[in-house]
């Protein structure tokens, strides 16, 4: 086991990319994740890897497309406004079934918004973002350690499914320093020779990367193939963490930074005698609907805590299917709820539901 290091989330993610064998990184500066490009601009050349500052996020995602299409392990990262610019390219990447890793260090919006952390990109990340029917596997780290870990996992899942993977972090986890450990990693052997555009030898037919299927009959076949893949992803890749659910009467549902705050809120509430647990979705797509549904047999109410106006709460309600009340609490604009504030809200809700 390697030693622990003290690193920023963004730097841990960048270091993980190197250790995961990332062949190329293309990016464009944007707060609060510019450290990624800076770190890689310094370190990647030492490993003979490609790092480039593109002229825009539009260009960087298309450089990712080209390099991924040639069979290379490729990534980009940005923050919310930049990720919006990439949506066209992401749709093409999903359509052309190219594996790559995209990291969004979420800041609060809409528009230019603020450079402070937010979770307002939940819908964009999990419900499409770009045009057409596609899904990305969405990983939500809640610590610097996970920002590193999910780079390895993200690349492997991208290769396994030939699909883009999004790591949805936020400005706080990207910027904060925590201890992180890089575990030994072996890259799985993946044969890309049947599709990667590496130059056509006489011994095989030409490979080409495309999302274009002009005939509706063909396009639908392609759509169905993608849907089959997304179904497999839903069956096999749901990830979540549960804390204190064994005896829980109530449940926090929160991801990323919100989950960290909810952990503290849970401790305070439990000291007050409120038996509350936490379900932290790690994959936002695929979403742990099934586990939420199971927990309705046990808990009296769920409270989704988010740094937005209420986005993931819709998925909680989809999972719960009306079996128990699902409530929402959130702050926006880069403002953070305090654990006490969340507990206060929880107590109010418990009283309200008890009275009704």
| Gap between the Cα atoms of 123 and 284, Å rounded | 10
Of 127, 179, 218, 225, the residue at the interface with another protein (CB under 8 A) is: 218
Of 2, 198, 236, 290, the residue at the interface with another protein (CB under 8 A) is: 198
Of 9, 32, 82, 89, the residue at the interface with another protein (CB under 8 A) is: 89
| Gap between the Cα atoms of 164 and 137, Å rounded | 7
Sign of CA dihedral 120, 38, 44, 179: negative
Asked if 62 touches another protein (CB under 8 A), the answer is yes
Asked if 313 touches another protein (CB under 8 A), the answer is no
Within 8 A by CB and 6+ apart from 54, the residues are: 26, 27, 28, 60, 63
By the 8 A CB rule, do 155 and 103 touch?
no
Of 26, 39, 155, 285, the residue at the interface with another protein (CB under 8 A) is: 26
The least CB distance from residue 61 to another protein, in Å, is 8
Of 47, 200, 225, 272, the residue at the interface with another protein (CB under 8 A) is: 200
Of 31, 207, 296, 298, the residue at the interface with another protein (CB under 8 A) is: 207
Of 133, 208, 232, 247, the residue at the interface with another protein (CB under 8 A) is: 208
By rule CB under 8 A, what count of residues binds another protein?
44
Of 23, 146, 170, 306, the residue at the interface with another protein (CB under 8 A) is: 23
Give the range of 21-29, 37-45, 267-275, 286-294 binding another protein by CB under 8 A.
21-29
* Cβ-based nearer residue to another protein, 23 or 159: 23
How many other C-beta atoms lie within 10 A of the C-beta of residue 250?
21
Among 324, 230, 245, 328, smallest CA distance to 286 is for 230
Sequence-ordered alpha helix ranges (H) in 74-142: 80-85, 87-95, 122-126
Give the range of 2-10, 150-158, 202-210, 247-255 binding another protein by CB under 8 A.
202-210
H or E, element range at 51? strand 50-53
Give the range of 3-11, 88-96, 233-241, 288-296 binding another protein by CB under 8 A.
88-96
Q: Report the site for another protein in 245-284 (rule: CB under 8 A).
A: none
| Gap between the Cα atoms of 61 and 64, Å rounded | 5
Q: Supply angle C-alpha 165, 334, 113, rounded to 5.
A: 80
Query: Pairing relation of β-strands 326-330 and 250-253?
Result: unpaired
- Binding residues vs another protein (CB under 8 A): 23-24, 26, 50, 52, 54-56, 58-60, 62-70, 72, 74, 88-89, 92, 96, 197-202, 206-215, 217-218
């Amino acid at each position: 086991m390697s030693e622990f290091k003290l690193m920023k989330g963004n730097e841990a993610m960048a270091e993980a990319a190197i250790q995961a064998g990332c062949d190329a990184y293309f990016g464009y500066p944007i707060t609060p994740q510019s450290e990624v490009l800076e770190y890689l601009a310094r370190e990647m050349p030492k490993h003979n890897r490609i790092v480039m500052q593109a002229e825009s996020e539009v260009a960087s995602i298309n450089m990712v497309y080209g390099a991924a299409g040639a069979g290379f392990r490729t990534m980009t990262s940005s923050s919310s406004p930049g990720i919006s610019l990439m949506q066209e390219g992401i749709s093409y990447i999903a359509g052309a079934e190219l594996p790559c890793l995209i990291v969004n260090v979420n800041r609060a919006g809409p528009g230019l918004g603020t450079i402070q952390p937010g979770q307002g990109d939940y819908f964009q990340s999990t419900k499409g973002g770009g045009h057409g029917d596609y899904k990305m596997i969405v990983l939500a780290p809640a610590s610097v350690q996970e920002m590193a870990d999910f780079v390895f996992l993200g690349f492997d899942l991208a290769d396994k499914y030939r699909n883009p993977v999004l790591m949805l972090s936020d400005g706080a986890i990207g910027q904060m320093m925590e201890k992180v450990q890089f575990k030994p990693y072996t890259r799985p052997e993946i044969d890309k020779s049947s599709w990667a555009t590496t130059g056509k030898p006489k011994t095989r037919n030409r490979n080409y990367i495309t999302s274009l299927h002009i005939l509706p009959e063909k396009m639908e076949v392609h759509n169905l193939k993608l849907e089959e893949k997304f179904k497999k992803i839903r069956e096999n890749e749901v990830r979540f963490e549960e804390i204190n659910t064994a005896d829980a009467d109530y449940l926090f549902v929160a991801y990323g930074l919100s989950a960290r705050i909810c952990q503290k809120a849970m401790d305070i509430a439990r000291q007050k005698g409120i038996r509350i647990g936490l379900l932290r979705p790690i994959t936002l797509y695929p979403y742990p609907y099934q586990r939420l549904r199971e927990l309705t047999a046990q808990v009296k109410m769920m409270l989704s805590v988010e740094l937005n106006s209420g986005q993931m709460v819709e998925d909680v309600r989809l999972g719960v299917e009306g079996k128990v009340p699902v409530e929402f609490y959130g702050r926006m604009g880069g403002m953070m709820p305090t654990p006490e504030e969340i507990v206060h809200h929880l107590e109010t809700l418990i009283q309200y539901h008890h009275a009704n």
